[in-house]
Amino acid sequence: MKAFTRLLTLVSLCAAAVASPTPSAAATSAFPTATSVVSGLHALAKAAGKLYFGTATDNPELTDTPYVAILDDNMMFGQITAANSMKWDATEPEQGVFTFDQGDVIRNLAQGNGQLLRGHNCVWHEQLPDWVAFGNFTFDELISIVENHCGTLVGHYTGQILDADKIRAEPFNDDGTFQEDVFFNTTGTAYIPAALNAARAADANAKLYINEFNIEFAGPKATALQNLITQLKADGVPIDGVGFQSHFIVGEVPGDLVQNFQSFVDLGVEFAITELDVRMTLPETDELLAQQKQDYETVINACLAFTECVGVTIWDFTDKFSWVPGAFPSQGAACPWDDNLVRKPAFDGIVTGFQG
């Protein structure tokens, strides 16, 4: 935990200056809304022994004043992840040309609010500029490109990121085979230690994570990641944590969540819930919202069961800016705040989850 000292100090200093918020009341909802009156979800997470409760955000959303008022509340959110602006297409759109303007906006927002920052991400097969995806590089060239990208990205934020969260996001297919992206097709798995070593060299204190979805339950994908972690550790490659994205469906939170977390913890890694949301097939109903409340509570409880679970990040806090409807037509309403920034029953689920 030593690596976090500077950032945690900043949080506690600023937290003292923030007034306790009350539930949002200006907008109304046709559905049941949250009833909890609490100082904030991050405050509850801290009281429960976690480092943070946080949210993803994205640059275009920062022009929405009521949204930003909630985002800026460091009793509510003690940690921020940039949903897009630290990805490869945003940070190295041309080879060797690095642009951190948008990422720095998110970094500055978090620092100004006394919120921790997770890096997101170094190597991912999506949101890759064409020069990487279609560059026809040799093994050596692509390894060098990965090292330079991860080293420069993490180096730019040295000392400012809590975890270089997604050193490798989503390396596997659901059947446990490796994602056949340009990295795997060109280098096999060699790009993974290359990325991790470059990140560690750039920031000795940032925790290095591999981030995945559909590893929250036992199966070939979870096993493949466990095998990778075991191999990396055997090879002396730095790997500190696992990010469980946790993009869940209402009523379908895995029943073996806790056992599955344990099987990763047994490998000697910490973990975080990095992209939590719980989507439903629309339209919303009172029943779906009640189940969603339970689902959020279940996930928070599972994190609380482990000292190795450092914190929870939701993948934006409002349905207004959720990625879900864009990716899953006819699904949505996945976040704890609705389109009008009104707190949903899911908010109460998080509260009761943290209160044990």
Q: How many residues does the chain have?
A: 356
Q: Smallest distance from the beta carbon of 90 to ligand G3I, in angstroms? A: 8
Applying CB under 6 A, which of residues 172, 323, 347, 354 lies at the interface with ligand G3I? 323
Q: Which of 215, 345, 211 is CA-nearest to residue 289?
A: 345
Bridge partners of residue 281, in order along the sequence: 331
CA angle 53, 82, 256 (to 5 degrees): 50
Does residue 170 carry a catalytic annotation? yes
**CA 347/CA 337 separation, integer angstroms:** 7
83 binds ligand G3I (CB under 6 A): yes
- What is the DSSP track for 24-86? --SS--SS-------S-HHHHHHHTT-SEEEEEE-GGGGG-HHHHHHHT-TTT-SEEEESSTT
Instruction: Calculate the alpha carbon distances from 224 to 85, 170, 218 in Å.
Output: 29, 12, 10
User: Which is it for the CA torsion 163, 169, 170, 171, positive or negative?
Assistant: negative
Closer CB to ligand G3I, 303 or 314, in the complex? 314
84 binds ligand G3I (CB under 6 A): yes
291 binds ligand G3I (CB under 6 A): no
Is the distance from CB of 212 to CB of 245 less than 8 angstroms?
yes
Place of tokens 């100090």: 9
224 binds ligand G3I (CB under 6 A): no
Binders of ligand G3I in range 235-254 (CB under 6 A): 245
Query: Total binding residues for ligand G3I by CB under 6 A?
Result: 9
Q: Smallest distance from the beta carbon of 87 to ligand G3I, in angstroms? A: 7
126 binds ligand G3I (CB under 6 A): yes
128 binds ligand G3I (CB under 6 A): no
Closer CB to ligand G3I, 55 or 294, in the complex? 55
Q: Which of 92, 270, 275, 284 is catalytic?
A: 275
Bridge partners of residue 332, in order along the sequence: 280
174 binds ligand G3I (CB under 6 A): no
Closer CB to ligand G3I, 83 or 314, in the complex? 83
275 binds ligand G3I (CB under 6 A): yes
Q: Which residue is nearest to ligand G3I (CB)?
A: 323
Applying CB under 6 A, which of residues 41, 143, 153, 169 lies at the interface with ligand G3I? 169
Burial group, residue 9, by CB count within 10 angstroms (0-12, 13-18, 19+): exposed
Site string for ligand G3I, 8-47 (x = CB under 6 A): ----------------------------------------
Q: Which of 147, 170, 212, 216 is catalytic?
A: 170
- The values of phi and psi at residue 174, to 5°, are -65, -25
127 binds ligand G3I (CB under 6 A): yes
Binding site for ligand G3I (CB under 6 A): 83-84, 126-127, 169, 245, 275, 323, 327
What positions carry a catalytic annotation? 170, 275
